[in-house]
Amino acid sequence: MEFLEYFPNVFEPWNFLILCGGTIGGLILGATPGLSPTMAVALLIPFTFRMDPTASLILLGAVYTATVAGGAVSAILVNIPGAPANIATVMDGHPMANQGRATEALHYCFISSFVGGVLGVLLLIFFTPVLAEFALNFGPAELFWVAILGVTVIGSLGSGSVVKGLFAGAFGLWISMIGYSPVLGVERFVFSEHLGGGINIIAALIGLFAIPQVLGMMETAKRGGKAEMFDMENHSVLASIKYNLSRVKALVIGSVTGIIVGIIPGAGGQIAGLIAYDQTKKLSRNSDEFGKGQPDGVIAAESANNSMVGPSLVPLLTLSVPGSPTAAVLLGGLLINGLFPGPDLFTIHAEVTWTFIDSLLVAQLLMLLFGLYISRYSRFVTRIPKFYMAAAVTILAVVGTYSVQNSLSDVIVMLTLGTAMYFATKVGFSPAPVVLGIILGPIAEDNFLQGMLIGESMDGVGPYFFTGTINMALIAFCVVSVGYSIYSELRSAARARAGK
Amino acid sequence: MNTNLTTPIAVLAVSAAMYAASASGDGGGFEFPTLIALIMCALGAGMLIHALGPGRRSSGKRSGSVPWGSILPGLALFVAYLFLMGWLGFFVTSFLVFVVIALLYAPGSPTAPAIARTAGVAGVFTATLYGVFVLLLQVQFPQGLLF
């Protein structure tokens, strides 16, 4: 019960203040259409740069948790999911708002998010140390395959197209090698003086996630259009809690689906929400009411996307393989604080790690309390005009990137990568595999070179990398994730052709 | 040219350039980048073959064309931001860029009250950033003519 030992740390004044601020800020950011959790966490990393590691991770974790729940506000009130994880919430949440039940829908959203979120964090607490202990058996070959697995899985499962996802991951790996080789000290691919220091992870994170969204807002900002203003009805919180907890089937399906999807590297919240919604609808006696304002739809989708948050950190904290794109950004936050995923997190850095995990549990409760309280005011957040959002995110991206190492070159790299990513998204590429490639590139290369040296001094490089139970299991996971994604893509294409 | 072919050809060209840069490297430290660039070339070739295949299906989601009329002013502002921040000063430039983006992308023509409101929002936002980054986090930004 090591997690209980560090629980009081969460309630130290500075940590608790950061946790409350992060939760409230995350709810507001999540409720703002156009600001995804991934972008919110990426933009916040420069703010945490000068904080101590514990406070920094508490802030990022609270924002991650709260933005996913807050995204339901715009899904329910504006019919625009605040985050990809809230896509399924739109289906019944917005019809409920149209029926004059907006407050009730928001109550279900926060209560279900709380239930799912707590279950997800409990899994994180009890499962992570076991997996971290297992990771002690990993040498350079295994760590190399883990890095490749991370890029492969997020490239294949987390993208619209397997080939494009894998290409994006490989591109990220390659550009992570710009600058000096950390092992041999050789200068590589410095085509411009601005690339002398290599690609800074934070600059890349901000550029790849924020700039395409800014340009996306610029595309549509001129059209304007105001969000509908709902009269928020008075609805008793106690009645909402009583009804919500009585919907056991929807809560269980949502939470279990979210936990399973979260622990699968790269899968992400939108998949969890959609699967949970679909299963709840199929198993419901009132399946014909789904899509017309059925509360079970909101309950299943929201418990799923928040129960995914904790488990998405399990492979991240143990094997450096993020369970979602936002977890990939969080990996950047860990690395800049000098924390490397693996068993050291639970031994050398136990205090930071356990305080962070415990804070996620408290964040769920704060998210519930603040969420229920601000439900009645949340409609105002959804009315922030896109042109202000685009301007604010641009300035925040530039200031945040510059502040990391006082470097104008980082700002140039951030804007260049972000602009290129905007055009790449137009032809079906996603930023998450590129980011993961940049983050995992140095880990993959270091272990590849170390493995080559060890292999040459033993039975050969081939046997070193391609034998052993763990190596073979990791290679099998890589092959299965790519194979399954190709199969899914072909099946979708066949269905689309049959539909035509 | 068929748009389905443009992407794989561009991908293949980028991969080939990356392979050429990796393979021409002297000494150690280039093995891994060369391997990655080779994989990228193979993926690019796969995309090209896929695009040339029956029905010329496009792979992955396609979000649509680029609305250049909306995007070009934004891109020009990014470049102007980079050039001006060293000359005018970081926060003055940030204030101006905020105002220009907000006025340029607001629906309808800018009116005097809208300009005043936007300048007020930009001022509060820039002042908040100044407080957080300069006063609290002690970050040194380029000074320029102003600040």
Does residue B147 form part of some domain?
Answer: no
What single DSSP character describes residue A333? H
| Same-domain status, B87 and B130 | yes
- Which residue has better confidence, A33 or B80? B80
Binned at pLDDT 50, 70 and 90, residue A224 comes out as: low
* Contacting B residues, span 19-48, partner chain A, CB-CB under 8 Å: 21-22, 25, 27-33, 36-37, 39-40, 43-44, 46-47
| Cβ neighbours of A449 in B, within 8 Å | 31-32
How far is it, in rounded angstroms, from Cα A356 to Cα A373? 25
How far is it, in rounded angstroms, from Cα A362 to Cα A58? 10
Report whether pLDDT(A232) > 80: no
| pLDDT 10s digits, A110-142 | 999 999 999 999 988 888 877 777 777 788 898
Spatial CA neighbour of A356 closest among A127, A40, A61, A27: A61
Report whether pLDDT(B62) > 70: no
| Same-domain status, B105 and B46 | no
| pLDDT 10s digits, A168-221 | 999 999 999 998 887 777 888 888 888 888 888 888 888 988 898 889 888 887
**Is the Cβ pair A394, B31 closer than 8 Å?**
no
Question: How many beta-carbon contacts under 8 Å exist across A and B?
Answer: 179
pLDDT value at residue A228: 55
| pLDDT 10s digits, A211-220 | 988 898 888 8
Binned at pLDDT 50, 70 and 90, residue A21 comes out as: very high
| Cβ neighbours of B102 in A, within 8 Å | 387-388, 390-391
Share of chain B above pLDDT 70, in %: 87
| Cβ neighbours of B15 in A, within 8 Å | 167
Give me the residue label for tokens 């990426």: A42
| Same-domain status, B38 and B79 | no
| Same-domain status, B84 and B129 | yes
pTM of the model: 0.79
Spatial CA neighbour of A427 closest among B74, B66, B41: B66
What ipTM is given for this predicted complex? Answer: 0.90
pLDDT value at residue A159: 62
Does residue B61 form part of some domain?
Answer: no
Report whether pLDDT(A342) > 50: yes
**Is the Cβ pair B94, A395 closer than 8 Å?**
yes
Strands A187-188 vs A179-180: parallel, antiparallel or unpaired: antiparallel
Helix (H, G, I), strand (E, B) or coil at A188: strand
Residue of B nearest to A178 (CA): B33
CA end-to-end span of chain B? 49
Region B73-100: mean pLDDT is 92
Report whether pLDDT(A156) > 90: no
Burial A343-375 (b: 16+ CB within 10 A, else e): bebbeebbebbbbbbbbbbbbbebbbebbbebb
Q: Which residues are CB-neighbours of A220 under 8 A, at least 6 positions away?
A: A386
Binned at pLDDT 50, 70 and 90, residue A34 comes out as: low
- List Cα–Cα distances, B57 to A160, A429, B61, in angstroms: 14, 16, 11
| pLDDT 10s digits, A1-15 | 777 888 899 999 999
DSSP bridge partners of A11: none
How far is it, in rounded angstroms, from Cα A240 to Cα A233? 13
| Same-domain status, B132 and B72 | yes
| Least Cα separation, residue B111 to chain A (angstroms) | 15
Region A321-346: mean pLDDT is 80
pLDDT value at residue A225: 55
Region A86-101: mean pLDDT is 86
How far is it, in rounded angstroms, from Cα A470 to Cα A460? 18
| Same-domain status, B73 and B131 | yes
| Same-domain status, B40 and B80 | no
Report whether pLDDT(A147) > 70: yes
Does residue B141 form part of some domain?
Answer: no
pLDDT value at residue A20: 94
pLDDT value at residue A320: 76
How far is it, in rounded angstroms, from Cα A204 to Cα A390? 19
Domain count, chain B: 2
| Same-domain status, B83 and B131 | yes
**What value does the mean pLDDT of chain B take?**
85
Does residue B18 form part of some domain?
Answer: yes
| Same-domain status, B46 and B74 | no
| Same-domain status, B74 and B23 | no
| pLDDT 10s digits, A257-300 | 888 877 776 556 667 887 888 888 888 888 788 888 899 999 99
Burial A129-143 (b: 16+ CB within 10 A, else e): bebbeebeebebbbb
How far is it, in rounded angstroms, from Cα B132 to Cα B137? 6
Region A400-425: mean pLDDT is 90
| Same-domain status, B38 and B7 | yes
- Which residue has better confidence, A319 or A63? A63
Report whether pLDDT(B60) > 50: no
pLDDT value at residue B59: 47
How far is it, in rounded angstroms, from Cα A154 to Cα A481? 9
Does residue B60 form part of some domain?
Answer: no
Residue of A nearest to B28 (CA): A184
Region A338-361: mean pLDDT is 87
Burial B47-86 (b: 16+ CB within 10 A, else e): bbebbeeeeeebbbeeeeeeeeebbeebeebbeebeebbe
| Least Cα separation, residue A382 to chain B (angstroms) | 17
Where in the sequence is the domain holding B119, given as residue range(s)? 68-136
Binned at pLDDT 50, 70 and 90, residue B3 comes out as: low
Does residue B131 form part of some domain?
Answer: yes
| Same-domain status, B131 and B79 | yes
How far is it, in rounded angstroms, from Cα A411 to Cα B9? 29
Contact A3, A357 (CB under 8 A): yes
Amino acid type, B95: F
Does residue B144 form part of some domain?
Answer: no
What string of H, E and C letters represents the secondary structure of chain B? Answer: CCHHHHHHHHHHHHHHHHHHHHHCCCCCCCHHHHHHHHHHHHHHHHHHHHHHCHHHCCCCCCCCCCCHHHHHHHHHHHHHHHHHHHHHCHHHHHHHHHHHHHHHHCCCCCCHHHHHHHHHHHHHHHHHHHHHHHHHCCCCCCCCCCC
How far is it, in rounded angstroms, from Cα B129 to Cα B106? 23
**What value does the mean pLDDT of chain A take?**
85
Does residue B118 form part of some domain?
Answer: yes
What single DSSP character describes residue A82? S
Binned at pLDDT 50, 70 and 90, residue B93 comes out as: very high
